[in-house]
Structure 1
Amino acid sequence: MSVELADKATHKVHVSAPAGVVYALIADAVNWPLHFAPSIHVERLEFDGERERLRTWCFLDGRLKSWTSWRHLDPVKRRVEFRQELPAAPLSALGGTVSVTPLGPHTSELELLYDFSVTGGLPDDVAWAERATDGHGRIQLAGLKAVAERWTRLDELILTFEESVHVNGPAELVYDFLYRAGDWPQTVPHVTRAHLTEDVPGVQRMTMETLTEYGTHTTDSVRICFPHAERIVYKQTAAPTLLEAHTGEWSVVPDERGVTVTAQHTVVLREESIAAELGAHASLAQARRHVREALGRDCRVLLAHAKQHAESAVRML
């Protein structure tokens, strides 16, 4: 006979930002990986304007977990209700509410209430669930507070751009090249080392070393692969000093002449590192241009090799 243990908790934090700004950040779950270190990827599966269904990949107490959940968005009350549909084991249920209360034109209170249960009652499972949910809740609130309080600067700190190339070849060959990132050091000049593991099908952990004009950089990433959609999304869990966060997506879209391969990058600049990395007089605008050029250059090299890989294979057939 299994025993189900339940618990609930409340966390609050004051935020020096308008309540509307704070609520907008809560509602925009798809962009949470940009702002919360443990969050890797959020995929919106359904949305009708009020209710949405999400698939989330996230670190909980150091473990990479995935779950699906429903959220009900209420912008009038600035309140979001959530309930996990398929919780991450050993949790058997988790849900709650996040709400924002205005305290003034530029201050607000953010409150998280949640409840959870663990089936089985094993002491290690219960201890992990308590530690993971409490830690995750505190990290989320701290992250929301930190981001919201920079709300007047976010548009300047966040940079999104794309690079693309057309390939006269099948999508499967292009996706194969992108999926097998562990082989990139053999073909891509600026990638000097890549260690890739895939303990869970479709979820890759990768450490990659690249050569740049400023020396060698090592990055750690989690990559979520969608082979049927021929997409790979990723987040760097250890990014270069100039970046606070870096997320991206590789997509392969067929057309009548082959496929278009697109690489999308979104980064959050670490403003306090600009002087150390680019010089004492470097501006935020210069940092944006530098990051755009550096990432774009490396990205174009990877896209060129993906194109060569697919088109060479086609010519050999």
Structure 2
Amino acid sequence: MTELREHHTLHTRVVAAPADTVYQLVADVTRWPVIFEPTLHVRHLERDGDNERFRLWALVNGEVKDWTSRRVLDPEGRTVSFRQEHSRPPFASMGGQWRFAPQRDGRTMVSLTHDFTVPGQEAGAWATEGVNRNSERELAALARIAELPHAIDDLVFSFTDRLELSGAAADAYAFVDRADAWPERLPHVRRVRLREDPPGVQDMEMDTVTADGSAHTTRSVRLCFPDSSIVYKQLVPPALLFGHSGAWEFTPDGAGGAVAVARHTVAVDPAAVPKVLGEGRTLADARAYLRAALGANSRTTLGHAAAHAGANASALAPGGPPHEGTR
């Protein structure tokens, strides 16, 4: 049996922002997918005061990994301690801590430590490379957001669109799952390249057009939870954004129909606002534009998914037309 080896890493960065501001960005894990490049999705499992438990999906050396972690938040001491419950190979264990130390000049020294065990030298090198890369990216992303002269809530915001379906949630889910067919099914989608490996993890590149005629190319990782939800993180977001994540959720209503919800969370890049929207446009203009543009495309997709589910429901009804299936 290969002996487990223990590794320790320390990464630091001075961030030109108050310690409490930087601490809050790390403490609110729900914002991580649009702030931290490696993080794809976070799903809370438990919350109790300053203790929380969640499942997290992230890119590690280009591979999608997921694990369940527990965290202890200490807002007074400005620390966030974390420990994975069941680490994914090659990691046998993983934990660490964030520390936020105020400096006399108003800046913050951020320290991120990791301790982990892996079997063997080769796995240790791979794991250390991944931890180092992700830690440096996370610290850089943290500084990029925290150092901006805007309130965090003005930069990072969420919104939803909701639609009741006359058909089954599973049929609406299937429509969104088959994104490779969107160019033939959705008016705002020009091109899709979709690869799924392993099952349930999709790499999607897509060309879309917004209502004002603007064209965008995005690349996303999508995590598919059959018949219930598809969550995604854009690896290449539109020029106006630092980050964009979202979800498609499908819930049966108990009466033969279902409810579909499209969720978006975005982090706006203020420097891109005049470049994309024109000189003199503000962060508020960007928020309104994003709400309208992303919401319009989501509502279009939900509408077509609803029609698809409704058509299948009609086909299954007595005397209905032949059922063409959902795949």
1:18–1:105 CA contact under 8 A, matched in 2: no
Task: State the Cα deviation string for residues 257-300 of structure 1 (Å, max 9, x = none).
Answer: 42121111111122212222222232222222222221121111
Structure 1 residue corresponding to 2:162, chosen from 164, 170, 191: 164
TM-aligned CA deviation for residue 150 of structure 1: 2.6
TM-score by structure 2 length? 0.89
How do residues 234-245 of structure 1 correspond to structure 2 at under 5 angstroms?
234-245=232-243
* Cα distance in structure 1, aligned partners of 2:198 and 2:124: 24
8 A Cα contact 2:98 2:111, kept in partner = yes
Which has the larger strand fraction? Answer: 1
Please list every run of at least 4 consecutive aligned residues from structure 1 whose deviation after the TM superposition is greater than 3 angstroms.
212-216
What's the CA shift string for 1:143-193, capped at 9, x where partnerless?
222222237432222232221211111211111112222221221112122
> Cα offset for 1:105?
8.1
2:176 corresponding residue in structure 1: 178
Aligned partner of 1:34 in structure 2 is 34
Report the equivalent of 2:292: 293
* Corresponding residue for residue 259 of structure 1: 258
- Aligned equivalent of 2:208, options 207, 210, 214: 210
CA contact (8 A) 1:21 1:151 kept: no
Normalising by structure 1, report the TM-score.
0.92
Q: CA deviation at 1:122?
A: 4.4
CA distance in 2 between counterparts of 1:22 and 1:204 reads 32
What is the Cα deviation at residue 217 of structure 1?
Answer: 2.0
Could you list the per-position Cα deviations for residues 221-243 of structure 1 after superposition, in whole angstroms to 9, with x for gaps in the alignment? Answer: 11112226x12111111111111
Matches within 5 A, 1:15-94: 15-94=15-94
CA distance in structure 2 between the aligned counterparts of 1:188 and 1:256, rounded to whole angstroms: 28
Paired residues for 1:266-277 under 5 Å: 266-277=265-276
5 Å matches for 1:149-160? 149-150=147-148, 152-160=150-158
Q: Where do 1:89-238 residues align within 5 Å?
A: 89-104=89-104, 106-119=106-119, 121-123=120-122, 125-150=123-148, 152-212=150-210, 213-227=212-226, 230-238=228-236
Unaligned runs of 5+ in 1: none
CA distance in 2, matches of 1:273, 1:30: 24
Aligned equivalent of 1:309: 308
CA distance in 2, matches of 1:9, 1:162: 39
Q: Using the alignment, how far apart are the partners of 1:209 and 1:96 within structure 2? A: 40
- After TM superposition, give the deviation of residue 69 of structure 1 in Å: 1.6
Structure 1 residue 306: Cα displacement: 0.7
Q: Tell me which residue corresponds to 2:279.
A: 280
Could you tell me the percent identity over the aligned residues? Answer: 40
Corresponding letter in the other structure for 1:316: A
Letter in structure 2 aligned against 1:128: W
Distance in 2 (CA, whole Å) between partners of 1:195 and 1:156 is: 33
**What is the identity, as a one-letter code, of the residue corresponding to 1:17?**
A
> Does the CA contact (< 8 Å) of 2:158 and 2:265 recur in 1?
yes
Moved more, 202-211 or 98-107: 98-107
| Structure 1 residue 2 corresponds to structure 2 residue 8 | no
How many residues get paired?
314
Deviation, 1:215, is 4.5
Aligned residue type for 1:232: I
Q: Give 1:134 deviation, angstroms.
A: 1.3
Q: Distance in 2 between matches of 1:151 and 1:86?
A: 39
Cα RMSD of the aligned pairs, angstroms, is: 1.9
- Mean alpha-carbon deviation: is it higher for 91-100 or for 279-288? 279-288
CA distance in 1, matches of 2:75, 2:170: 42
Q: Could you tell me how far apart the structure 1 residues matched to 2:64 and 2:153 are?
A: 30
Q: Secondary structure at the match of 1:21?
A: helix
Q: What is the CA distance between 1:16 and its match in structure 2? A: 2.2
Query: 2:37·2:138 contact (CA, 8 Å) conserved in 1?
Result: no
